[in-house]
Amino acid sequence: MEFTSGDVWFAVAVLLIATVVTKIAIARATVDPTCTRPLPPVVKGVALLGLLHALVTKDLPTVIHDLYEKFGSVFTVSLLGQKVTFLVGPEVSAHFFKGLESEINIGNLLNFTVPIFGQEVGYGVDLATRNEQARFCLDALKPSKLRSHVDPMLQEVEEYFAKWGQHGIVDLKHEFEVLLMLISSRVLLGKEVREKMFDEFCTLFGQIENGVNLVSVFFPYIPIPSNQRRDRARVKLTQILSEVVSSRKSSGRVEEDTLQRLIDSRYKDGRSTTEAEITGMIIGMLFAGKHTSSHTTIWTGACLLNSPKFLAAAVEEQKELVVKYKDQIDYNTLAEMDALHCCIKEALRMHPPSPVLVRKAQKQFTVKTKEGNEYDIPRGHTIASPTIVNNNMHYIYKEPQVYDPDRFGPGREEDIVGGKFSYTSFGSGRHACIGESYAYMQIKLIWSHLLRNFELELVSPFPRTDWNKIVPGPQGKVMVSYKRSRMSA
């Protein structure tokens, strides 16, 4: 899932999406001529040449921040007749996150996911059906349903780290990617897949992942080898999950996992979910969570092991919980891990899984900056909300370049003081991530176990962000030395 350079990634995310994907849309939006307020300043001419040069010499956050410093919190990048308008800061972000689907939506920007997840789900179906399917996934991941996932998650964590020796050096990227797939297979897919066909499932899922590349984003159906492997893998995955679903239905067996909850889901008209729909939703959930969870787990560790003060605070919290609960971990114990929660949240602030969120304006709307300037955003513009910049505003976050989990603690709570949309690592409003509680739970389980059972040290340099990825993550290996050292109650 790599592009050839960070420059290409940014160009795709910001400029080419509007240029290429819009041309293959069923209905092409046109600019509304009825704007009565000024339009946002436009990056063009010499400024546009400077932007293109910056793409080669600077990273994504720096490029966007430089444009923000020069043009303000609302500006438009115009290229090849297409317009991408950036909304920087919480004051101008309300409509992006709260606007009705009829006013601002993803448009056809994710149509390339149809051959990945299937024609029966997501952007292969109408809006009403898609909303019902989203409700099924949301219900399956509600905090009240997550309680039953703690024990199987914890079992996977304990069994995995039991295989480590008394001491050694490991690459956290590799370790967490494997562990999180084990957890996902147990909790999302069920014990049939986890115990009998995990390796095959991972191989097939990897082939689907590798089918997401620059060419397939814009031309998802052309018969290139990666697309063909993706399609064959998806057919086989559908067969595997269909057999599991059929077996459960015929035997009357009911399990406590997400797959079962999707099997039991019903549309408003009483219709049951089909095997193809269940498969598509499961693959979608795996896609949504795999890289974001593994990257956040890695960033949390790298930040903690690079920050003695906050590492000591997280360890001390675990010691107190070990004494209080006799080394037992359940849903309530996880809820009391406030220090660890803030450490994860701060890692997400600095390293959000989605650095730029993008939607299409279906109707004209107006934004007002904190300076009081008002701009009309015409229908047809692609709208970009740069999370990587919004999470680092100097007037909201004190020294935003510094890893400081205390900023979310009592007496500071900088994200709350900053107002709505000051922290959008999990989206917000109508577009909040449905897997936020699930993500925090599994990351807490992993890091609470490590802090209770090992002394850890980061032995490689603190990782840079790899902007060559569709989902940017830590670049290179993240090497950590470990030595067993179990806390006692």
Confidence tier at 476 by pLDDT (50, 70, 90) = very high
Assigned token pair, 240: 């595997």
Task: Decide if 85 contacts 96 (C-beta within 8 A).
Answer: no
Would you say residue 7 has pLDDT above 90?
Answer: no
Mean pLDDT value across residues 413-426: 94
Binding residues for heme: 433
Instruction: Report, as an integer, the average pLDDT of 338-367.
Output: 95
CA distance 418 to 395: 8
Domains of the chain (ranges; CATH) run 6-484 (1.10.630.10)
**Which pLDDT value is given to residue 88?**
96
CA nearest neighbour of 25 among 362, 369, 476: 362
Q: Nearest CA to 189 among 403, 58, 181?
A: 181
**Alpha-carbon gap, residue 438 to 343, rounded angstroms:** 16
Higher pLDDT, 448 or 47: 448
Confidence of residue 289 (pLDDT cuts 50, 70, 90): confident
Model confidence at 249, in pLDDT bands (50, 70, 90)?
Answer: confident
11-30 pLDDT, tens digit per residue, is 334 434 433 333 333 333 34
Supply the pLDDT for residue 54: 66
Q: How large is the average pLDDT for residues 303-332? A: 95
Length of the chain equals 489
The larger pLDDT score, comparing residue 38 to residue 469, is at: 38
Return d(Cα 353, Cα 290) in angstroms, integer.
11
Give the integer Cα–Cα distance in Å for 478 and 457.
11
The β-bridge partners of 77 are: 43, 84
The pLDDT value given to residue 399 = 96
Q: Could you tell me the end-to-end alpha-carbon distance of the chain, in angstroms, rounded to an integer?
A: 45
Confidence (pLDDT) at 1: 43
- Tell me which of 64-78, 207-221, 321-335, 348-362 is least confident: 207-221
- Compute the CA torsion angle 306, 308, 313, 318 (nearest 10 deg): 70
User: Could you give phi then psi for residue 133, rounded to 5 degrees?
Assistant: -65, -35
> What is the pLDDT at residue 33?
58
What letter represents residue 340's amino acid? Answer: L
List of residues 6+ apart from 93 with CB closer than 8 A: 87, 385, 390, 421, 424, 428
Write the pLDDT tens digit of every residue in 429-456: 888 888 899 999 999 999 999 999 999 9
Tell me: the pLDDT tens digits for 83-126?
Answer: 999 999 999 999 999 999 899 998 888 889 999 999 999 999 99
d(CA 215, CA 222): 9
- Binding-site residues: 433
Confidence label for 53 from pLDDT (cuts 50, 70 and 90): low
Q: Give me the chain's average pLDDT, please.
A: 87
Query: Among residues of the chain, what percentage have pLDDT more than 70?
Result: 90
Do 468 and 5 form a contact (C-beta atoms < 8 A)? yes
Candidate from 51-60, 284-293, 374-383 with smallest mean pLDDT: 51-60
pTM, full prediction:
0.88
pLDDT at 405: 98
Tokens of 338: 């406030």
Please state the rounded mean pLDDT for residues 51-78. Answer: 84
Which pLDDT does position 71 carry in this prediction? 92
